[in-house]
Structure 1
Amino acid sequence: MKGKWINSPYTFALGMFAMMVPSQAFSSFYSYFYVEKLGLGIGLATLARMIFLIWDAVNNPLFGYWSDRTNTRYGRRRPWVFGSIPLFMLAFVLVFSPPGGLSENGLFVWFLVTLILYEAVATVLWVNYGALLPELFRGDRIRAKASAIQQGYQVVALLIATALSPMIYAAINFSNMAIVYACVFGIFMYICMMNVQEKKETNVGEPLKLIPAFRETFRNKKFWVFNISNSFAQTVNGLVSSMIPFYAKYVLHISEAQVAILMASVFVSVIPLVFVWYWIIRTMDGVKAWRLSLIVYGISVIPLWFGYDLISGVAAGIAVGFGLAGFLVTPAIVGGRIIDEDADNTGLRREGIYTAVSGFITRSSGLISALAFFVVGLIFGYQSGDNPGSDPESTFRYLVSVVPLCLLAISVIISFTIKFKFKEPLRGDYDHEQKINHQL
């Protein structure tokens, strides 16, 4: 019975659930905790955030490079993940557990040090876990299935971390909430990794040194076109989710209590819709499915322009959920094929460095989102809730619909700037895919 769950997409996706619960709680509440609850100055908090982003830019590709060069009898990725589990739990708890009585400078130092520690360990986890998907699951269909299940688990984790966290920290404080989430992470991540068995790769080349490894990655045109295209779509993910509360207030004119319903219309609908996209992907080439998902995502944000109350907003939110579901599932297919092709060219499986660089590119999309907010706000005069300008409704209609449509149009155009022609999977990889599908 145990063998059934080895390298099963269902047990592998538990790792996504495990990491997303604390990660989403961290990203949603760490600034609020330090600035609003502990009184850290906004300037110092921003400075820490900038240093945090610089550190993130440096450590992502380095950890990916080191992961690719690891070779133990327990695998390449699993030792990194197992070693990081207790460190991540500790770092996450420390972020939300500063000692009492610290001065503002002391609080800033604690904030900065724990951020850097948290980011380092989180990067090790995300890089190595992310590298396992294209390594374990070979073939478009099984990668699509694994990605769909992952995204379903991710949305459940996102809902837990965003909806339950305010109730939990109100009842038991932030530090104890962090302990609870750290334990949830530890349990599910351990179950996930105990059911992972890495393939023994027969690399035909010597491991690349640091500079050649980066050079080989950076000159891969398919990789850059794919990730730059995805970065614009990823910007839409963050922009739409962050604008929904403003959209609800200024466009739909609904109460704060009803915002949760609007959010749920987007994110809860994603769970079944990712499996609809899995069915669509089974009928076409993976690259075509990826491009189709970008086009559908662009169309799906148009109904948001026409929202005017809760019901119309929920209907538009479900439409966005369908577009979002496609974008969440399909990139894993194309990304996996790019890594497979690189392995054919270099004789090396280098999932780590590709996953790391991809992760940094997509996370940097937050800068585009911030710039869009600033520019549109400047055009319509929106400055803050205290000074929303003369036409805040137009501000957020544009930010939630027109700007995302334009960004996704750019994403689609970029996706057509290069031909993504890949070799057919090796017979061994096809047999591996068929075997897993048969198990499922």
Structure 2
Amino acid sequence: MTAVAPAARTPPWRYAVGMFGTSIPINMIKGSVILYYVDILGLDVRAYGIVMTVYAVIDAIDNPVLGYLSDRTRTRFGRRRPWLVVAAPLLAASMIAFFSAPASLDGVGLVLWFAVFAILCEAFDSVLNANYGALLPELFPRERERAVANGLRQGFQLVALVVSLAVTPVLTTGVFGTEETTSGFTTTAILYGALASAVIVLMALGARENPRYATEHRPRLLAGVADILRNPLFWKVGLVGACYGVAMALVLSGVQLYVRYSLGLAVTNALYLQGAVILVAAGGLVVWTRVVRRRGAVRTWRVAYAVLAASFVVLFFADGLVPAILAGALVGVGWSGMLATNDLVVARVLDDDAASRGEHREGLFLSAFGFFGRLNGVLTGLALTSLGIFFGYNSGDDPGQDPGLAFRFYLCVYPFVLTTIGAIASRFVDVGAPTADRTESSPETPMPPPSVPTAQEPAP
């Protein structure tokens, strides 16, 4: 075995700060892609939907492979850290190219540029998140400590969202560019890419992986995928979590155009709406994390889902910036509850798999869960395409007769339907306690390593 024993336990803040770096690039992409490509460059929403669908097919293939390779990696630096250090600058470079489309591009050329760099950005983001997420149950095996680490990392994510969502419209359309040009996006992407890469490398160099998790037995791809697909918890938690993920993807991608068309304000005003949502969510994380430690992740998850669903009803009826900010605050309350709980529910599924199968394949499992996350792109593409069918919004050049109502549906009605389904379905999901809590082990006295199949015991 080539992995080295950790010199010391990883401080929660050192792990958590990595979420700041992983969140900035992808959330700038999600938050500005429609404004940049559809509204300013004139990419047709139908082309956008097709590209997102094609990407989902590609992603369904490459995600399990990426997770599988991570699980099988054996180096003196650990399994996850090398992937994090390599993928960070590659994601930054892809994001910069994504927001640097040549002004001369249009038609098929613009669609191809969008498709190539959207796929690259999502692929490198998948590498980062599969490896970063796999470290959470490994570094923090008990749920109380895991809840604290997760609360801290979600707090860093909210700070990143302030930067990548709330501040971005000001930088791209005010400081470095205008509402009708694209130069501001390129400059902002360069700044964010450099910052994100530095933070991710800082986190990766300080993470102390547990060598006991890297057993000599290396998971197999096809057998592992087949086993995961037969796991009912994978489908239950994945599909229910997807309702939340798609809903928030719609919110992140549509808020700037909701401000422009539904509220009739300059895009820069998205700073105040997004800022209010994020600040409330940051404060709510403290409260929700305490509730998790007292009531458990699953029960708290169900309550948070219901609160988030109700908040979209209030947001639909907002008719100005101040009412929208107040409604957005309620969205922030529900959202922070989901941030505090959703990953903990997923982590329990990973614990259960490791305990029952005798091997740690968090990378493969999280990559499989990533398939549900990639439904975001398909369903946001379909939702955007539906605006052309129902409301006549096809692009910034052809916005239809009522783009304001179109983006109220996109930002409020569709997320409400999804989160209501998720809130109801979550009542039928039950997962056991984390393995370390069941055995009353602690991070300082780790559980014995999982058994390794022998020649008489065929590997699963």
TM-score, L = length of structure 2: 0.80
d(CA) in 2 for partners of 1:307, 1:106: 39
Which of 57, 64, 67 is equivalent to 2:67? 64
d(CA) in 2 for partners of 1:258, 1:111: 27
Give the corresponding residue for 1:129: 132
Structure 2: stretches of 5+ with no match in the other structure:
1-5, 447-460
Cα 1:190–1:102 shift into 2, 3 Å: same
Q: Which deviations, in whole Å up to 9, do the C-alpha atoms of 1:16-59 show, x marking residues without a partner?
A: 11122222233344566567777878887766555444332221
Give the corresponding residue for 2:453: none
Q: Which deviations, in whole Å up to 9, do the C-alpha atoms of 1:245-269 show, x marking residues without a partner?
A: 5555666565655443222221222
**8 Å Cα contact 2:126-2:370 kept in structure 1:** no
**8 Å Cα contact 2:257-2:267 kept in structure 1:** no
d(CA) in 1 for partners of 2:392, 2:50: 25
Give the corresponding residue for 2:143: 140
**8 Å Cα contact 2:18-2:199 kept in structure 1:** yes
**8 Å Cα contact 1:13-1:149 kept in structure 2:** yes
d(CA) in 2 for partners of 1:369, 1:401: 13
The farther-off stretch of 156-165 and 311-320 is 156-165
d(CA) in 2 for partners of 1:275, 1:104: 48
How many angstroms does 1:62 deviate by? 0.8
Q: Which deviations, in whole Å up to 9, do the C-alpha atoms of 1:314-348 show, x marking residues without a partner?
A: 22111110001001110121111110110011111
Which of 191, 194, 208 is equivalent to 1:197? 208
Matched, 1:415 2:426: yes
d(CA) in 1 for partners of 2:323, 2:39: 34
How many angstroms does 1:148 deviate by? 1.7
d(CA) in 1 for partners of 2:41, 2:260: 28
The farther-off stretch of 78-87 and 286-295 is 78-87
Which of 348, 357, 368 is equivalent to 1:357? 368
Give the corresponding residue for 1:347: 358
Q: Which deviations, in whole Å up to 9, do the C-alpha atoms of 1:87-107 show, x marking residues without a partner?
A: 334433444456898897777
The farther-off stretch of 178-187 and 416-425 is 416-425
Listed as ranges, the matches of 1:197-276 within 5 Å are 197-201=208-212, 206-245=217-256, 247-248=258-259, 256=267, 258-276=269-287
Root mean square deviation, CA, Å: 3.7
The farther-off stretch of 223-232 and 143-152 is 143-152
Give the corresponding residue for 1:438: none
Matched, 1:297 2:308: yes
Q: Secondary structure at the match of 1:407?
A: helix
Give the corresponding residue for 2:329: 318
d(CA) in 1 for partners of 2:260, 2:392: 14
TM-score, L = length of structure 1: 0.83
How many angstroms does 1:389 deviate by? 4.6
Structure 1: stretches of 5+ with no match in the other structure:
436-440
d(CA) in 2 for partners of 1:199, 1:240: 37
Give the corresponding residue for 1:10: 13
The farther-off stretch of 156-165 and 416-425 is 416-425
Which amino acid in structure 2 is aligned with residue 141 of structure 1?
Answer: R
How many angstroms does 1:111 deviate by? 5.3
Q: Secondary structure at the match of 2:211?
A: coil
d(CA) in 2 for partners of 1:50, 1:153: 31
d(CA) in 2 for partners of 1:6, 1:72: 19
Listed as ranges, the matches of 1:133-172 within 5 Å are 133-162=136-165, 163-164=167-168, 165-166=171-172, 167=174, 169-170=176-177
d(CA) in 1 for partners of 2:313, 2:106: 49
Which amino acid in structure 2 is aligned with residue 406 of structure 1?
Answer: V
How many angstroms does 1:363 deviate by? 2.7
d(CA) in 1 for partners of 2:77, 2:110: 40
d(CA) in 1 for partners of 2:126, 2:259: 34
How many angstroms does 1:176 deviate by? 4.3
**8 Å Cα contact 1:10-1:149 kept in structure 2:** yes
Cα 1:423–1:135 shift into 2, 3 Å: closer
How many angstroms does 1:190 deviate by? 1.6
Q: Secondary structure at the match of 1:74?
A: coil
How many angstroms does 1:113 deviate by? 4.5
Cα 1:168–1:253 shift into 2, 3 Å: closer
d(CA) in 2 for partners of 1:396, 1:109: 26
How many angstroms does 1:6 deviate by? 5.4
